[in-house]
A and B are shown apart, each in its own frame.
Chain A
Amino acid sequence: MEMLQYALRKFITGIPLIIGVTLISFLLMVYFGPDKTYELVGKNPTPEQIQEVRHQLGYDKPFVTRYLEYMKELVTFDFGYSDSTGERVNSILARTVPISLALIIPGFVLGNLLGIALALIAAYHRGGWWDKIIMGGSVVGMSVSFLIVIIAFQIIFSSNDGLGWFPVRGWNVYGFWDYLRYVTVPTLATVFVALGYNTRFYRAVIVEEMGRDHVRTAKAFGTPPGELLFKHILKNAMIPIITRIMFSIPLVVISGSLLLESYFGIPGVGLVTYDAITTGDQPILKAVVGITAVLFVVVLILNDIFYKLVDPRVSLK
Chain B
Amino acid sequence: MPKRFFALLTLPLFLLLGACTDGPDTAGMKIYRHSLSGSPTSLDPAQSATVYANHVVVNVYDTLYSYKYLARPYQIKPNLAVALPEVSEDGLTYTIRIKQGVEFIDDPAFPDGKGREVTAADFVYSLKRHFDPKTRSQGSWFWAGRIKGMEAWKKAGSDYDKEVEGLKALDRYTIQIILNKPFPQLIHTLAQGYSAVVPREAVEYYGREFSVHPVGSGPFRLQRFDSVGVVLLKNPKYRKEPIDLAYEGYDEALHGKYGIREIDGKIPPLVDRLEIHFIKQSLSRWNSFTKGDEIQYAGIPKELLDDVLAQKQPSIVLKPEYAQKYFMTSGYENGFVHTDFNMRDPEIGYNQDKQREKMNHALRCAIRYAFDWDDRNKKFYNEMGFVFPGIIPPVVPEYDPDASREALRHDPALGRKLLDDAGWTTDMLPTLTYGGVASVDSRQMFEQFRGWLMKIGYPKEKIVFDSYASFGDFNRAVKKAKIKIVGMGWGLDYPDAENTLQLFYGPNGSPGSNNANFDDPEYNRLYEQTAVMQQSPERTRLYRKMNQIVLDACVTISGLSRRQIFLWHKDVVSFPDQSIVGGFHLKYVDVKEAEK
A residues sitting closer than 8 Å to B (CB atoms) are 34-47, 49-50, 52-53, 56, 81, 84-88, 91, 95-96, 98-99, 101-103, 105-106, 109, 113, 151, 154-155, 158-161, 164, 167-171, 173-176, 178-179, 261-267, 271-272, 275, 278-280
Contact = CB atoms under 8 A, between A and B. Distances in A.
B20 A38 contact: no
Given A35-B473, A102-B18, A279-B472, A86 B44 contact: yes
A86 B475 CA distance: 21
B532 to A, nearest CB: 19
Contacts of A35: 472-473, 476
20 contacts: A34-B469, A44-B141, A44-B508, A46-B512, A84-B42, A86-B210, A87-B212, A102-B16, A106-B12, A109-B11, A160-B292, A168-B288, A168-B294, A170-B228, A170-B294, A173-B20, A174-B21, A178-B20, A261-B228, A271-B227
Given A42-B141, A43-B49, A43-B138, A263 B284 contact: yes
Interface in B14-57: 15-16, 18-24, 41-42, 44, 47, 49
A40 B136 contact: yes
Given A47-B511, A86-B211, A176-B16, A39 B23 contact: no
Contacts of B513: 43-44
A38 B471 CA distance: 8
B569 interface: no
B133 interface: yes
A13 to B, nearest CB: 29
A34 B283 contact: no
A78 to B, nearest CB: 13
Most buried by B among A36, A169, A170: A169
Contacts of B403: none
A267 B228 contact: yes
B248 to A, nearest CB: 29
B19 A102 contact: yes
Nearest to B11: A105
Most buried by A among B139, B144, B211, B228: B228
B469 A158 contact: no
Given A158-B287, A266-B228, A50 B279 contact: no
A259 B133 CA distance: 37
Given A46-B511, A105-B15, A85 B42 contact: yes
Interface string B259-280: 0000000000000000001111
Contacts of B210: 86
B560 to A, nearest CB: 20
A40 B291 CA distance: 37
B18 A43 contact: no
A101 B19 contact: yes
B156 interface: no
Nearest to B474: A38
A272 B471 contact: no
Contact of B294 (A40, A87, A167, A176): A167
A42 B42 contact: no
Most buried by B among A43, A46, A81, A155: A43
B459 interface: no
A122 to B, nearest CB: 21
A194 to B, nearest CB: 15
A39 B50 CA distance: 11
Nearest to A39: B472
B226 interface: yes
Nearest to B47: A40
A251 B470 CA distance: 24
The range of chain B's interface size is 35 or more
Given A86-B210, A154-B284, A46 B227 contact: no
Contacts of A38: 472-473, 475-476, 479
Nearest to B280: A262
Contacts of A34: 469-470, 472-473
A109 B9 CA distance: 7
B15 A84 contact: no
B209 interface: yes
Contacts of A87: 208-209, 211-212
Nearest to A97: B18
B287 A154 contact: yes
Contacts of B229: 170, 265, 267
B49 A171 contact: no
A223 B508 CA distance: 85
Contacts of B281: 262-263
A155 to B, nearest CB: 7
Interface string B123-135: 0000000000110
Contact of B138 (A41, A105, A280): A41
A109 B8 CA distance: 8
B228 A271 contact: yes
B382 interface: no
Contacts of A42: 49, 137-141
Contact of A52 (B133, B471, B475): B133
Contacts of A261: 228
Given A38-B479, A43-B138, A272-B227, A86 B511 contact: no
A164 B21 CA distance: 25
B290 interface: yes
A220 B210 CA distance: 73
B516 to A, nearest CB: 14
A265 B140 CA distance: 34
Given A98-B19, A159-B291, A267 B139 contact: no
Contacts of B23: 174-175
Contacts of A84: 41-42
Contact of B227 (A91, A179, A275): A275
B290 A280 contact: no
Contacts of A278: 469-470
Contacts of B277: 169-170, 265
Contact of A36 (B5, B21, B22, B472): B472
A12 to B, nearest CB: 29
A161 to B, nearest CB: 8
A160 B41 contact: no
B507 to A, nearest CB: 10
B290 A160 contact: yes
Nearest to A187: B12
A50 B472 contact: no
A109 B287 CA distance: 29
The 7 closest A-B pairs by CB, nearest first: A174-B23, A42-B138, A86-B211, A98-B18, A34-B470, A102-B19, A44-B141
Nearest to A86: B211
A54 B287 CA distance: 42
Interface string B506-521: 0010011100000000
A262 B38 CA distance: 12
A163 to B, nearest CB: 12
A158 B210 CA distance: 37
A28 B140 CA distance: 33
Given A56-B136, A87-B212, A102-B16, A45 B511 contact: yes
B12 A155 contact: no
A99 B287 contact: no
Contacts of A44: 141, 502, 508, 512-513
